[in-house]
Structure 1
Amino acid sequence: MRNPSDPRALPGADPHTGNRLVDPVTGYDTTGHDWGGIRELNTPFPRIAVIALLLTFLYSVITWILLPAWPTGNDYTRGLLGLDQGRMARDGYQAVDATRQGWLAGFSDPDFAALASDDLLMAQAMPAAARLFADNCAACHGDAGAGGPGFPALNDADWLWGGAPETVAETIALGINATDNSRFAEMAAFDWLEPAERQALVDHVVALPQGTAATDSPGAVLFADNCAACHGDGGTGGLMTGAPSLADGAVIYGQDAAAVRTTLRHGRRGVMPGWSGRLSGTEINLLALYVATLPEAAP
């Protein structure tokens, strides 16, 4: 006889099934395990799971035979369909590039006025130009060309070298202070000034964009003698020679007293690389036309 405490000997056990207790709700046998009155059912593996596993296995075998599946060193098996994803990617790129080359060829001749007047061409080209700008220029000049500390804004009317597309294309190709052939601009250090003179000049330059700079102060005299030759009378700009305006908000390095004092003490010599080694002449023309339109798109 079995021990009466054995759960398999509980009332309802079937002697023909080895005293296994049958669950009266589901009709399944129990395993004989009992956890505080909770009995474990001996349920069969779900048929739907078996079917799903079989279908998954069949699908894997079919795809293994038909599609690329196994690496073979520097290559891989193509399968019965002979698919080559690398070739498919190249074909897709070549198709896109062929379409792109069609309209891009128009920018090989830098007749910027004619290009800008072709609305259909501009609609095709400007999205690609925006991508060129994002890939090559935005890291320094900002996504919308708004500039930042040490980098001039490109979306306003103030240009160091001129904002015509022809001039912008030349700046992009040559760069600034990058090589012997680049545009050259340098702010000399004025550390030879006496501290009192330097402070007077700082005060004058800080007051320029606010419109409160006196014309007969010691700082104004120092500015006229030492700065106006590059920055222009009243600090309104450097006649497209690379010297920025000091009388508006288009300031590259900042125009608070600390920034101006640092500039006077140490000078400035920003560098922009030339892009002729990275971009084609056609791409440079496209990018120059895009940059020249940034002031129009500025809010």
Structure 2
Amino acid sequence: MSKKQDVETTGHSWDGIEEFNNPLPKWWLYIFYACIIWGVAYSIAYPAWPMVSKATSGLMGWSTRANVAAKISEFEQMNAAVEAELAAADVTEVALGSDVHSYAVNAGAAVFRANCSQCHGSGAAGNVGYPNLLDNDWLWGGTVDEIAYTIQHGIRNETDDARYSEMPKFGVDELLEDDQINQVVEYVLAISGQDHDAALASAGTLVFEENCAACHAEDGTGDIYQGAPNLTDAIWLYGGSREAVHETVHAARFGVMPAWGERLSQAEVNAAALYVHQLGGGE
């Protein structure tokens, strides 16, 4: 039954059920109004409203970017002396355990993670087409100064001082017939100690001598300073299976590394070289 109530109802009814129009608690209203006032004050004092190209700066002029830039500047000033020493250093003469070497290893690790790990892996173990930096099998040389040069100028890019070599596309450019490619592939499998067709490998000896030995050497051990890998070990940049070797001979490979000297400071290049060298690979 409908009875007179002290509190008015909302005037709505659902299946005979009415809802009281109870006022909100005073404490809740005060907090709500305070939040509105605080929000308006915040949007005036601090960056808040997005515009076309930037947000409103606010009366306080506060900026997270400015705070980060100030911190970076602070640490750059703290490290300025050792940075200058590292930039001017001959990487072959940086003493192991010295302050410069310790700084370089830590800084080089950051440079590597930001710029190199995408290709060489976070642990520098490489991937198909990207060299493992932890072993002693280095094209273009693995001494610390040779590593620094490779980082500085890169490989097969468009800069004048880049490391450069190019393998002929023996199949694509029809330099060899299909039978000759199959023969030399079996020969490469033979000298690398893998299962092979002995008859084809024997015929591939002459093909290798006439077309491949000039770069990879007569015994297939390669020439690191031509960027020609050793074909007699178990280390393969693009894979050592019959199919992978056939693809390499047929279409060749042409890996490119950026010239990091155009993007990094000399100190960062030297730091990256010292970091990579101390990982255990190289010479």
Please give the range of the TM-score, normalised by the shorter of the 2 chains.
Answer: 0.7 to 0.9
CA distance in 1: counterparts of 2:68 and 2:160, whole angstroms: 41
Q: What does residue 270 of structure 2 align with?
A: 285
Cα contact 1:185–1:241 (8 A) shared by 2? yes
- For residues 188-267 of structure 1, the aligned pairs below 5 Å read 188-190=168-170, 191-211=174-194, 217-267=202-252
Aligned residues: 275
Give the alignment's TM-score, normalised by structure 2: 0.79
Q: Deviations over 1:169-195 (max 9, x none)?
A: 112222223234322212123343343
Q: What does residue 60 of structure 1 align with?
A: 39
Larger Rg belongs to: 1
Q: What does residue 97 of structure 1 align with?
A: 76
Structure 1 residues 107, 121: CA separation in 2 closer, same or farther (over 3 Å shift)? closer
1:110 to 72, 86, 89: 89
Q: Which runs of 5+ in 1 are unaligned?
A: 1-9, 14-19
Q: What does residue 114 of structure 2 align with?
A: 135
Cα contact 1:103–1:125 (8 A) shared by 2? no
Give the alignment's TM-score, normalised by structure 1: 0.75
Structure 1 residues 70, 184: CA separation in 2 closer, same or farther (over 3 Å shift)? closer
Q: What does residue 5 of structure 1 align with?
A: none
Cα contact 2:46–2:58 (8 A) shared by 1? yes
Question: How well do the aligned residues superpose, as a CA RMSD in angstroms?
Answer: 3.4
Q: Deviations over 1:127-178 (max 9, x none)?
A: 4312222333233333333333333222221000111110111122222232
CA distance in 1: counterparts of 2:269 and 2:115, whole angstroms: 11
Q: What does residue 6 of structure 1 align with?
A: none
CA distance in 2: counterparts of 1:226 and 1:39, whole angstroms: 96
Report the alpha carbon displacement of residue 92 of structure 1 after superposing the two structures with TM: 2.3
Cα contact 1:205–1:255 (8 A) shared by 2? no
Further displaced range: 277-286 or 30-39: 30-39
Cα contact 1:107–1:286 (8 A) shared by 2? yes
Q: Which runs of 5+ in 2 are unaligned?
A: none
Are 2:34 and 1:49 equivalent residues in the alignment? no
Greater relative contact order structure (CA < 8 Å, 6+ sep): 2
